[in-house]
Amino acid sequence: MTETDEAGSGALQEEDEKRALSEPIIRPFAGESQGGGQGGGPDGKLGSQQGRFFYGWWIVAGGFLLMATCYTIFVNCIPLFQSHIVEDLGISMGAFNTGVSLCTVVAIFASLLFGALIDKVSSRILGGISVATTSIVLVLFSFITEIWQLYVLCVVAGIVVVAGTRLLASVITANWFTLKRGLAVSIALSGSGFGGVILSPITSTIIENWGWRPAFLVLAVIAALAALPIILVAFRNRPADKGLEPYGAHASEEGKKDKSTDTPVQVSIGWKVLLRNSGFWLLILGFIAMGIINGAVITNSVTNMTSINLDGQEIITGGHDTIWAGYVWSLYLGVVIVAKISLGAIYDRFGLRAGTLLGTVACSIAAVALCFPATDFGPIVAAVAFGFGTCMGTVSPPVMVVKEYGKKDLGLVTGIVTAFELFGAAIGAVVSGLLFDVFLSFLPAWIMVLGASVAMGAALFASIPLATRLVKKRLAAGAPMLDAEGFEIVE
């Protein structure tokens, strides 16, 4: 580059900076660095910005599609198959839910692995493997005839899909944003609601008209075509991979600030310190309770509205037909879209306590409403309330980890939190199924969910001041400070 080019580029950058300061709305940054890699612009800073579009929004779009297909199929659409597989294979409700819980149990350990891999391995490789595995497993699901085959496929899905998709989408999105992190993460994760709204009625219709086996084949094709292209082309682990910095990395220099009531964590904590901190284990306890809620409600909600055939005996739970239940489930997933984005915005604007309060109240209302499945209002109120409450299980882990403990070891720490949450989900799925087999009613399960909702709120609220105390202690001890991407600053 000639001196004239450098001078011209510097003048353009200075003009852009002045324009940014004069505009009240935060504009996304854009472009790759002129030097490539981790190079910078004429001012020597990482990520000279060109234009108005910030590349991180491609990461958000990729995460959105990953959640809308792979994740939502195995988490939000599987309940639509529950009664049909139970009847066709001649198994008990507890046996089916055990398969679902196996998926969740292996995802516990897989989350720890994926959390570490996300910090080291290309997200395009991890994302590509997740999508390919999703399609293959769905095809194989359509051919199962024995319960052991269901269990084997659930194990594979848990290792790669359930653990890999949500964790990958949330962690790399968090890596790309400093300002608007909660909003960006919630938009990416809201794909599960959007995908559910589209796929639930499609799946229900196919099951009713052609059977559950063709439904799995259709979902396999949809997952491959919708998610794979953008992941292979656009995914990058960190802004530095494109010669950029996280969105809002120099917000204070540009006259912008985080409006949240939570103070950003800029000191190194690290997972080794967290494992010895009581506040972190309270955070873990809160998400175990959240997992119990999700495991029980998501697995059984559709059957709670309809009926189930066990050993030749038809048990009327809610008495509604499958199509009606499918539309209510779609309502729930539609609420999830709005709720996830709202929760992320609430975290950004009002802080952790406001988001935790919303999730706790919503889960409690859902638990009560689920106790009235034979009415129309019960399932509908439960769908709306749980649409907000369930977001605590996806949006909250990466956001709460960053806000309480910073970006240091973000993938690994979020993986640990997610693993324990999935452990709770396995408990919720298994115990709710066993309770139904004993009482032939879901009422005991919903009482369990109400208790877990209260426990979740109490534990998460208690973790917040303890995290603040730990951060102050690390600052006083002279722990290393962090840069915008969560790396320790070496002086």
Residue 251 in this model has a pLDDT that exceeds 70: no
Closest CA to 309 of 322, 327, 298: 322
CATH topology of domain 56-247+257-476: Growth Hormone; Chain: A; (1.20.1250)
What confidence score (pLDDT) does residue 260 get? 58
pLDDT beyond 90 at 16: no
Give pLDDT tens digits for 273-310: 888 899 999 999 999 999 999 999 988 888 899 888 77
C-alpha closest to that of 258 among 13, 484, 486, 17: 484
Contacts with 414 (C-beta within 8 Å, 6 or more apart), sequence order: 115, 167, 170, 171, 174, 397, 398, 401
Distances (CA, A) of 161 to 70, 142, 197: 7, 17, 20
Residue-range domain boundaries for the chain: 56-247+257-476
- Note the pTM of the prediction, 2 decimals: 0.71
List beta partners, residue 482.
488
Report the residue count for the chain: 491
Please say if the pLDDT value at position 156 is more than 50.
yes
pLDDT, one tens digit per residue, over 380-403 is 999 999 999 998 888 898 889 888
Rounded to whole angstroms, the Cα distance separating 128 from 123 reads 8
Residue 113 banded pLDDT, cuts 50, 70, 90: confident
| Max avg pLDDT among 33-42, 74-83, 218-227, 326-335 | 218-227
Radius of gyration of the chain (CA): 23
Beta bridge partners, 315, equal: 308
H helices, E strands: number in the chain: 19, 2
Amino acid at 359: G
Tell me the per-residue pLDDT of 84-100, one tens digit each, with 9 for 90 and over.
Answer: 888 888 887 778 878 87
